[in-house]
Structure 1
Amino acid sequence: MKVIKNITPHQVSVSAESFTATLFAWAGYDVSAQYGANQPEYDLIVAQGEKMVKISVKGSQDGGWGLTQSFLSNGDYHGAIDEWYLKHSKRTIFSLVQFLDCDFDKGIMPRVYLASPYEIAVQMKQMRNGYGNTS
């Protein structure tokens, strides 16, 4: 398979969702994908027995995921992070998929990180020596 550099944002999004769904299915979870534009809060639902979790998938090919920039006002990074955090359910986790430096020919696959909105908010507030960041 040829390595594709700089795929479109749509291709990144579709690929990230596919990788996440594959990994959860491979781990023995039932996976349900939500398709269509403007999906509310989550892209996938994974379940195992009676346990169910919503998964919001974010893909990147540049090393970061812009999550809170649309909430930023007057340079208040912590306020933007708080506003972003409050929009997410405690039953939602994020799958952050990174395509930077992938090389399928050499077996270098995307990295996938799972984190709760709380964990992401804490990390984002610690960035830039505690001033916070939007990605």
Structure 2
Amino acid sequence: MVARLWRGTTLGVRVIAFDGDGLLLVRHTYVTGWHLPGGGVHAGETTEAAARRELLEETGYAADGAARFLGLYFNPLAAGRDHVAVYHMPASTPRRAFRANHEIAESGAFPLDRLPDGTTAGTRRRLAELFEGLPPSDRW
């Protein structure tokens, strides 16, 4: 309870990005499942800049062209104070080879109709909102 009094709201980003027809996903070292690339927003950084940085850091891909802001989602599982901004970056280009590290175990590009087992529910919901017309939720 004391931690909640002293800690502020956190802000993160996730990116729906593609390598051709393959959706870029990452598998973390510290939590199960396949996730959209993303992470925390640094002080003095816009959410779009953070999304572009995280995409490059986690996958080795740089977004090409404009980013489309899709929404801001509340993530109640992260201590009840986390919010996630989601961007769609339909085209990207590899800038460096992916190398597993202390945070990201694996990165891959998957066709939307063949997502890997373990793709998280939040990831699947964001994709359904964007590509299948599912009404947007305000929760991750």
TM superposition score normalised by structure 1 = 0.27
Q: Which has the higher contact order (CA 8 A, sep 6+)?
A: 2
Q: Higher helix proportion, which one?
A: 1
User: Whose Rg is larger?
Assistant: 1
